[in-house]
Chains A and B, each alone.
Chain A
C-alpha cells in the first residue's frame, strides 16, 4: 500500500513543526510515529490512502485557533477527524499535514435546551453518546440516527447532510443545524445562526438558523474545506408516546419505487428504509446471499410515531389504504405487518436495521466497504434499481441497495453498497463502483459525502459556472488551501 503521497510539509522542518504542535496541544497529544499515523491514512473504502505527518488530539477551541493560525502561516494542511467511519475517504489526507482528531477529547454535550429543543455539541460527540444522554436525561426529546455505528460522530454527519431514521418527515441532518461556531483560516472565530447574537446577551441563543443571511452553506457539505467547526447546535424533536414500526414487503422495482414515493407523500411515517432482500439475509447470517425467484425484492421498514393508540391506528389505516391503491394499480400484493413481531419470527438479528444507533453487521463484516450514496430524483428509482442490479450481476456481487424517501418524497436516497475483501478484491470493486456511479449520474443522482474520484467525475458533467463559483469560494475561504486540501478534487 503506497502511503506517502506528496506531503506539503517540508520534511526538513518536521521537528520545528512538531515542537510548535506540542506547544499548542501538549506533548502527550501529538504524535508523528508511523504506527500511530497508519490508522488515519486509510479507511474501509477504495479511496487511495494517504499518510498524515502528525496526529493531534484536540481538547478545546483555543488549540484550534492557535493551530489554524500557525498552519495558515506555514501553509500546512489540516484535516479534521472525528471517528473516521465515513464511507468516502473524507479524512484521508490528500497532501499530508496534520490530522486534528476531535473524537477522543473534544466530545462534550455542552448544553441541551429543552423548550427550544436543541443540543449544542462539540465535534467529537457520537450518536451513541447523544442517544444515551437523551434517554437518561431528556426522555421526551429525540434526535435521529443513521445506518452508522453508535461510535460515529453527530456533527460530522450533520454538516455532511446525513440521512437518518427521521428523514422522511424531517429531511437530512443538514437541515436541522441551528448554528455553528467555526474557526476561519486566519484564526478568527465566527458564529453562524442566531448564536451570532453573542454570549454576552444570552447563553441559550442557538435556537435558529434563520432569518439572517444564511452563511451556513459555506460550511455544510464542504468536507471541512472552508473552516473548522468547533460547535454545532442540532435540532431535537419531541418524542411521542408511541414509537413502532411496520414492515412491508414489495416485489419488483416499479412497486417498490411507487411504494417509497407514495408512502412518503402521506407525511405520516418518520422514515422509509428499503433494503434489498439480500441485505436482510446477510443480517440473518448468510454471507453470500442470492435472491431466489419468488422471494420479495425489498423489505421496507416504516418507523412511525404517534401521540396515542388512536393516532397510531389512523396512521396504520392510511398506510393500508395507500397500499391498496398501489396493489390495484400494479396488480400485485404488498404485505405489511408489525415489525417487532415479524422480527421475532424471522430472526432477532434483523433488528440491526431498526434499533438505531447500532452496528449494522452486514456493513462491518468485511475489511472493505464502499458505496455510491446519492440524493436521487424519486421518479427515477425504478430504472436506478433495474440498471444497478445489472451491475451487481455483472460483477457477481450480492445486490445491496438501500433507499429512502426524504422529506415527504421531495427527494430520495439511492445507495448501492458493496462490501468486499480489501486485499483481494479492491481493483474489481473500483470498477463496479465506477459503473454504478455512471448509472446514478445517468438518472440525475448526486453523490453525497463525495470521495475525490467521484467528485472529479461529477465535475465533468455539472454546470461549469457552479464549479468556477465553488473554486472561487474555496479560495476566498481558504487562501492558502490549508483546510482538508484536495477535497472535491480541487
Chain B
C-alpha cells in the first residue's frame, strides 16, 4: 500500500479590499515552501497591518488558514503601521530593512512587548516582500511583462 503524503496547503479567504488583496498576494509568494508552512502552521495570531493615511488590514493566522479582513479589530496580537506605499516598496526592494524602518519611524509597532510575535511575523512577511521585490525588479527590466514579444 502506498504511503500517501498529504500536501499541506494554506487556505486563504478572498479579501474584497485592494490592500487586503495585496497582502494575500504577498503572503502567497512562499505558499508551497515547507519552511514558510512551518512558520504559519498553528501560529494562531491576529496581526493588523496599517497603511498610514489609507486603512488597516487585519490578518488572522489560524491553523493553516489565513483570513484577511478589511479594517482593524480591538483584539490583536500585534499592530504594525507601514508609513506609506513607498515604505512597502522600499522594504520589497531591500532599500529599507525592518530595523531601519522602525528606527526611522517609517514602520511603527503597537504591543511591541510581544517581541516574539513581531520577530515571527517579520520572518513570515519580509522574505515574501523581498520576493515581490525581485519580481518587481524583473518587470522593471522588461522580463515577464504581459506584452513580452514571443510570450
Q: What is A's interface to B at a CB cutoff of 8 Å?
A: 128, 131-132, 135-136, 150, 244, 247, 249, 277, 280-281, 284-286, 289-290, 292, 294-296, 333, 335-338, 340-348, 351-352, 355-358
Contact = CB atoms under 8 A, between A and B. Distances in A.
Nearest to A348: B135
Contacts of A290: 16
B149 A136 contact: yes
Given A346-B18, A355-B145, A355-B146, 6 more contacts: A295-B54, A337-B88, A340-B139, A345-B88, A345-B92, A356-B147
A340 B147 contact: no
Given A352-B146, A355-B145, A244 B140 contact: yes
B98 interface: no
A355 B138 CA distance: 13
Contacts, number: 111
B132 A337 contact: no
Nearest to A336: B86
Nearest to B92: A341
Q: How large is the interface on B (under 10, 10 to 19, 20 to 34, 35 or more residues)?
A: 35 or more
Contacts of A351: 139, 145-146
Q: Is the interface of B mostly helix, strand, loop or mixed?
A: helix
A434 to B, nearest CB: 30
Nearest to A244: B140
Contacts of A132: 149
Interface string B108-151: 00000000000000000000010011111101100001111100
A249 B53 CA distance: 11
24 contacts: A131-B147, A150-B147, A247-B85, A249-B54, A277-B18, A281-B18, A284-B18, A284-B21, A285-B21, A292-B55, A292-B70, A295-B55, A296-B54, A337-B84, A338-B89, A341-B133, A341-B136, A341-B137, A342-B85, A344-B134, A345-B25, A345-B88, A355-B146, A355-B147
A429 to B, nearest CB: 24
A343 B21 contact: no
Q: Is the interface of A mostly helix, strand, loop or mixed?
A: mixed
A273 to B, nearest CB: 15
A340 B136 contact: yes
B79 to A, nearest CB: 16
B42 interface: no
A347 B22 contact: yes
Interface in B50-98: 53-55, 70-71, 84-86, 88-89, 92-93
B17 interface: yes
Given A286-B16, A292-B70, A340 B140 contact: yes
Contacts of A333: 53
